[in-house]
Amino acid sequence: MHNHSRFRMAKGAELLGRRVDSLEMQVSIPLDDEGFLGRQCPECSLIFRMNAEEYKALPEDLTLWCVYCGHHTGHSEFLTVQQRNRLMRAVGDLGIQMVGQGLERAFGRLPRGNSRSSSVSITYESQPFYPRPLPGISEEPLARVRTCPGCSVQYAVFGEHRYCPVCGRLPATSVAFDALEAEKARLDALEALPHEAKALLREQGVFTRNWVDTMENVVGVVEALASSHFRTAVPNAEDLLRGKGNIFQRLDDTADLFVAAGYADLRIALGVATWQRLTENWATRHLFTHNDGVVDEKYLTKVPTSSARIGQRLVVTDEMCRRTLNDTRALCEALVALAP
C-alpha cells in the first residue's frame, strides 16, 4: 500500500486521499485575468471560454456544447491541450514516485549481503524526487464576453458560433445581431490598421473584397432570421413556403409572405427610403454573387436610379457597407417586432 503522505507534488497538485484501490488527486487549472476557464471541443478542436464561477456552479453531470459545431458530451471531455498537459505532468510525477516506492519495497525484501550460491547481483539505490513546476496556462485572451439569452451563462468565443455551451442552439435573433456586430468589427479592424499595412492591402484588393463580402453576408443574416422567425410564428408555415424556393433571399417576397400570414408590412414599418436602400443593397449582392459585380439589365430594373451602365462593374465602399449594416439591423429589428 502506498503512503500518499510521502509523495512530493508540485504546487497546484494535491493528493486528497485514497478511494478504494486508487489515489484521488486534484490539479488546479489557472484562470485568465477575467476569471474565465478555457474549454476545447473534442470534435472540432476549437477553444472557447466560460466564466469559472458560473461553470463551477453547474451540475456535475453537465453535458457541454461546443459553441461552434454543436458537438455535445460530458464536460470533462472539453479539457484544452494546455490543461491536459498540466494534468498529465501531475499524473506523471505521481506515477514516478509510486513506481519508486514499489521498487523500494521490493528490494527491501531481498536478502542482504553477498551470497556465494547466488549467480545474480542486483543493486538498487533510491533517489529523492523533486517535481518540476506544473505547466502554466497561456491561452488566447477574451475579446468580448457573450451572455446567453436563455440561461444567462457568460462565455467568450473566437469565431462565428451558433450554440450556448450550456443550453445548446442559440435563438435566431441572437445569431443575427451577433453576426451584424461581427461584420462591423471586421470593417473597424481593417480601418484601424497602420497606414503602410492598409496601403498594401488596398493594392491587393483586400478592402474591396471585404466590403463585397459584407454586402453578401447581410443577405444571409436576414434570410436565416426571417426563415426561423416565420416558421416559429406561423403555424402553417411549411404549407405557405412549399414551392417558393429561397424566398427569404428576396425582400419584397419576404414582406408579402408575412403580410399574407396576417402580419404588418415590413415596407411600411421601415419607411420608403430605408426599404429602397435595402432593395439596392440586395440587388448589389445578387450582382456580385452571380455576375462578378458587372451591371446587367436585371440590376438596372431593380435600381432604376443607378447611374451605372450595362457592362460596368459596381464599386462598393466602406460607407456603403456601414449604411447597409445600419439598415439591415433596422430590418432585423422590424422582423422580430412583427411577432414577438
pLDDT digits (tens, 9 = 90+) for 177-229: 999 999 999 999 999 999 999 999 999 999 999 999 999 999 999 999 999 99
pLDDT of residue 97: 77
pLDDT of residue 129: 80
Per-residue model confidence as pLDDT tens digits over 287-303: 999 999 999 999 999 99
Say if CB 124 and CB 145 are below 8 A apart: no
CA angle 26, 82, 144 (to 5 degrees): 105
Per-residue model confidence as pLDDT tens digits over 245-265: 999 999 999 999 999 999 999
pLDDT of residue 1: 46
Question: For 278, phi and psi rounded to 5 degrees?
Answer: -65, -40
Q: What is the C-alpha separation between 63 and 44, in angstroms, rounded?
A: 17
Q: Map residue 114 onto helix, strand or coil.
A: coil
Report if residue 309 sits inside a domain: yes
Statement: residue 110 has pLDDT above 70: no
- The cell numbers describing 256, all together, are 408579402
Q: Map residue 216 onto helix, strand or coil.
A: helix
Same domain, 163 and 291: no
Report if residue 310 sits inside a domain: yes
Query: In this predicted structure, which of 1-5, 103-107, 227-231, 281-285 has the lowest mean pLDDT?
Result: 1-5
Per-residue model confidence as pLDDT tens digits over 41-63: 999 999 999 999 999 999 999 99
Same domain, 29 and 141: yes
Same domain, 105 and 73: yes
Q: What is the C-alpha separation between 41 and 168, in angstroms, rounded?
A: 14
Report if residue 117 sits inside a domain: no
Strands (E) across the chain are located at 13-19, 22-27, 36-40, 47-51, 63-65, 72-74, 145-147, 154-156, 163-164, 168-169
Answer with the residue of higher pLDDT: 172 or 123. Answer: 172
Report if residue 156 sits inside a domain: yes
Report if residue 116 sits inside a domain: no
Say if CB 213 and CB 172 are below 8 A apart: no
Same domain, 133 and 239: no
Q: Map residue 134 onto helix, strand or coil.
A: coil
pLDDT of residue 120: 63
Question: For 29, phi and psi rounded to 5 degrees?
Answer: -115, 110
- The cell numbers describing 22, all together, are 486508487
Same domain, 9 and 58: yes
Report if residue 302 sits inside a domain: yes
Same domain, 26 and 153: yes
Say if CB 15 and CB 4 are below 8 A apart: yes
C-alpha dist (Å) from residue 264 to 92, 177, 260, 269: 66, 21, 9, 8
Per-residue model confidence as pLDDT tens digits over 120-165: 666 666 677 878 888 889 888 888 889 999 999 999 999 889 999 9
Query: Which run of H or E residues covers position 212?
Result: helix 206-233
Domains contained in the chain, number? 2
Residue type, 60: E
Same domain, 162 and 220: no
Q: What is the C-alpha separation between 86 and 80, in angstroms, rounded?
A: 10
Say if CB 282 and CB 331 are below 8 A apart: no
Same domain, 333 and 316: yes
Average pLDDT over residues 228-255: 94
Average pLDDT over residues 104-115: 62
Q: Which of 170, 188, 205 is the last residue of a domain?
A: 170
Per-residue model confidence as pLDDT tens digits over 67-109: 999 999 999 999 999 999 998 888 888 877 778 777 777 776 6
- The residue written with cell numbers 422580430 in the block is 336
Same domain, 247 and 332: yes
Report if residue 253 sits inside a domain: yes
Structural domain including 181 reads 172-338
- The residue written with cell numbers 517535481 in the block is 131
**Average pLDDT value for the chain:** 89
Q: What is the C-alpha separation between 54 and 184, in angstroms, rounded?
A: 30
pLDDT of residue 15: 80
Statement: residue 111 has pLDDT above 70: no
pLDDT of residue 128: 77
Statement: residue 113 has pLDDT above 70: no
Same domain, 278 and 165: no
Question: For 77, phi and psi rounded to 5 degrees?
Answer: -80, -5
Cα 145 off chain centre by = 11
Same domain, 290 and 215: yes
Same domain, 138 and 236: no
How many Cα atoms occupy the beta-carbon half-sphere of 81 within 13 Å? Answer: 7
Report if residue 201 sits inside a domain: yes
Q: Which of 170, 192, 207 is the last residue of a domain?
A: 170
